[in-house]
Structure 1
Amino acid sequence: MTIDLEALYIDLHQHPELSFQETRTAGIAAQHLRDLGLEVEEGVGVTGVVGVLRNGEGPVVWVRADMDALPVEEQTGLSYASTATGIDPAGTTVPVMHACGHDMHVTAMIGAVEKLVSERSDWSGTLVVLIQPAEEYGAGARAMLDDGILGRYPKPDVVLGQHVTPLPAGVIGVRSGTQMAASDGLTVTLHGRGGHGSRPHATIDPVVMAAATVMRLQTITSREIDPQGVAVVTVGSIHAGLKNNIIPAEAKLELSLRYPNEETREKVLASVERIVRAEATASGAEREPEIRTDHTLPATINDEHATARVTAALQRALGEAAVIDPGMFTGSEDVSWFARDAGVPLVFWFWGGIDPTRFAEAVAAGRLGEDIPTNHSPFFAPEIHPTIEVGVTALSAAAREFLA
């Protein structure tokens, strides 16, 4: 029986789950893989799923899809929009939405596996399917590896993955070398001296300290990184105080840092530490600030030879004009941990999910940034068709390129 991929996608979209809480999604994916004849294990790396399809002698190909959603309130206006909520790590009830397209990733994966199963007489080797949790935390791949998947399942000869993105539907973006940036997530705690809002002279105000720090951090990319280079320093969260007439004792900043290589990473991290400590000193802080690393993700680097093979396979399957070099994305991914730990090539690509006419109109009007929602936007939702079909074709064609 053919799987109704549209119905699967809508169901997943309406029932998003936060990182490491994807029990329903994992169960649905696992059941589909079992129905297709794969050996399946659930609960890998907390909520991950691994499926194995053995089809004779030949290479071992790992294909990966992530499945977690985000604490975002959906505003797409779609008839199947998510109204779900979840409990975040702080214990707060938050809206939940598939704002990054991971529901589409799982749908395309199931469709690609179904296609490969139907074509199994034409290839040989072993397909290992990874349905990964917690990509949004940058922790899911590591959790699955720490759970011992390299020792329990056939070791890969190549790792493949894909991500839906705001390119025109039908377009594939892939390049060799650095496809996505490395990143670090930092939490900075600035210590002041609290007191009454009417007596600021008797305090050391961490709010002012935080404001000065945020402004100075912006000079890293504008004044310390070569203009021809790439780096991102984003302060995504500031928390300080509970009432307007109380100067708090501390302020917390959450930073997202991005860079294409280790040299730039070391420079940015050193600059962040220098600025944070200098602003604390300038504010008269009596206690050193704390800088904690919450996660570190390596750059997503596509192997040159394997990428050339995948590019050729995608061009044959979808047409040469459909495959482009999208440039390096400053977003980050944890998929490369699988290839890095296994010591094998990685190929990771993007596929478009935006109506081509709408995309072209936005480009013509010079309003691409305003009119086309990007991943993590409350308005982001890929067109169901042909996004599903292109994702299925791309992933299955890339896997077939390596399966004998």
Structure 2
Amino acid sequence: MRADKFILASLALTAGLASATELQQTVLTDLPSLNSLYLHLHQNPELSYQEKHTSARLAKEMRALGFEVSENVGGFGVVGLLKNGKGPTVMLRADMDALPITEQTGKSYASTVTVQDKSGNTVGVMHGCGHDIHMTSLIGTAKQLADRREQWQGTLMLVAQPAEEVGGGAKAMLAQGLFTQFAKPDHVLGLHVSAAIPAGKVAVAPGYAMANVDSVDVIVKGKGGHGAYPHTTVDPVVLASRIVLALQTITAREISPLEPSVITVGSIHGGSKHNIISNEVKLQLTLRSYNPEVRDQQIAKIKRLSAGIAMSAGLTEAFFPEVIVHESESIPSTYNDPALAGHVEQAFVSELGAENVEKGQPVMAGEDFGLYGRTEENVPITLFWLGGVEPNRYAAAMKSGSQLPSLHSSKFAPDYPLAIETGVRAMTSGALHLFNQD
């Protein structure tokens, strides 16, 4: 790991500069052990609902810092509580699951883990969404706050969440009584690595930050037959093609242009042979929006348009397309409480400098973090972006106009030492501000 040691040495020099904050200096002292934790997590990724060893490692780290730890919450979820007198409860959350991606970064520490998928195929496993940085930043922040108990009062609540990538982890932890069995937080703070922001910077987006996400199947029915006699059939391939084109008019012509909306057909499957007209075609859609009312409009209009197209082809109601919304996979938009976002942004500016705190932009990606703000307790939440791109690489890409590897890419390789340092400093300063603002 010569390159990593060189990076650490460079960061250590930064600690000696007059501009280095006291928090930065202590984080840099902890950075070698945090980098070691990161490498362990990166090289031992586990898929959604399979985070057994990852959760055990995080529970061990929390216990070593003096937290009261509960495991197997909503699956492999972990909850750590550190009580430090009377005061607010601040919840910090990190997600644990990895993705079925074969890593192609070329890094010496790249994941080589493989598993068998449901079809019996061997697939790689990779932390292609930065959850290894999320977890490491959580533990680094926990240590900083445990060492600074004289600077805050209240209850620090750590949540290591499973199954974010499939939208099930937050639901399961809340269903098991996260806010009733353990503690009801006054504030919830989380971070997410960004593949579009240089490491060393953060970004905060008040209001809607991430989207509603729905997975929808449309089963298009027809009346099959011989490809040479299409007049004796009702071709579901043609109907499906018409539906795909018609779906684009929902956003373009049926939803207000002031309301963000995305309807993407990600998969279309039907037929078995050149000269056979099949009985069925299956479409798989992803829907994105911010406003819950737009989400409901999207689903209703998909049902209406697909049924109308089937009717125009002469099909009776029994043959209308079946529209299946996978409610178990649906997640709501993430709405960053504007007041809370303002408080943490203020803390970030104080710790990182105004030049390293950007105004975040809403994205159409989804995150089940939003569920923590949609319970009966109506807890304010904020998720901020943590830059992950090596700064020189980012600058070169901006200059040349080249595309950087995105999240979920097999080539996504964040500048983890600088990202972790920044993540711990941001989360720690944000939590301290929230503990002391009341």
Task: Please report the TM-score for the alignment, with normalisation by the length of structure 1.
Answer: 0.92
Report deviation, 1:143.
0.5
The yes-or-no answer on 1:65 pairing with 2:80 is: no
- In 2, the alpha carbon distance for the partners of 1:92 and 1:146 equals 33
Which residue in the other structure is 1:364 paired with? 399
Report deviation, 1:200.
4.6
Structure number having the greater helix percentage: 2
1:134-213 matches, cutoff 5 A: 134-166=163-195, 167-195=197-225, 200-213=230-243
Distance 1:222 1:8, change over 3 A: same
Which residue in the other structure is 2:362 paired with? 328
The yes-or-no answer on 1:26 pairing with 2:55 is: yes
The yes-or-no answer on 1:352 pairing with 2:382 is: no
Residues 343-363 of structure 1: per-residue CA shift (max 9 Å, x gap): 121111101100122212222
- In 2, the alpha carbon distance for the partners of 1:377 and 1:303 equals 30
Structure of greater Rg: 2
Distance 1:274 1:22, change over 3 A: same
- In 2, the alpha carbon distance for the partners of 1:392 and 1:93 equals 36
Segment drifting more, 211-220 vs 7-16: 211-220
- In 2, the alpha carbon distance for the partners of 1:207 and 1:96 equals 35
Report deviation, 1:222.
3.4
| Structure 2 counterpart SS, 1:254 | strand
| Structure 2 counterpart SS, 1:46 | coil
Residues 270-320 of structure 1: per-residue CA shift (max 9 Å, x gap): 332222223333444451222122133222111122111111001111111
Q: Is the 8 A contact 1:18 1:88 kept in 2?
A: no
The yes-or-no answer on 1:396 pairing with 2:428 is: yes
Q: Is the 8 A contact 2:337 2:380 kept in 1?
A: yes
Report deviation, 1:209.
2.7
Residues 324-375 of structure 1: per-residue CA shift (max 9 Å, x gap): 11221111211121222131211111011001222122222233xxx21111
- In 1, the alpha carbon distance for the partners of 2:52 and 2:385 equals 26
Which residue in the other structure is 1:258 paired with? 288
* AA of the residue aligned to 1:218: Q
Distance 1:174 1:66, change over 3 A: same
Q: Is the 8 A contact 2:306 2:320 kept in 1?
A: no
The yes-or-no answer on 1:378 pairing with 2:410 is: yes
Q: Is the 8 A contact 1:18 1:86 kept in 2?
A: no
- In 2, the alpha carbon distance for the partners of 1:350 and 1:81 equals 24
The yes-or-no answer on 1:291 pairing with 2:320 is: no
Distance 1:264 1:28, change over 3 A: same
Report deviation, 1:246.
4.7
Report deviation, 1:144.
0.4
Q: Is the 8 A contact 2:348 2:429 kept in 1?
A: yes
| Structure 2 counterpart SS, 1:321 | helix
Report deviation, 1:249.
3.0
Q: How many residues align?
A: 401
Report deviation, 1:7.
1.9
Distance 1:38 1:192, change over 3 A: same
Distance 1:237 1:316, change over 3 A: same
Distance 1:284 1:134, change over 3 A: farther
**CA RMSD after TM alignment:** 2.2
Residues 124-160 of structure 1: per-residue CA shift (max 9 Å, x gap): 1111111111111111101001111222112110111
Report deviation, 1:88.
4.5
Structure 1 vs Structure 2: percent identity of aligned residues?
Answer: 46
- In 2, the alpha carbon distance for the partners of 1:4 and 1:51 equals 20
Report deviation, 1:92.
5.3
* AA of the residue aligned to 1:141: A
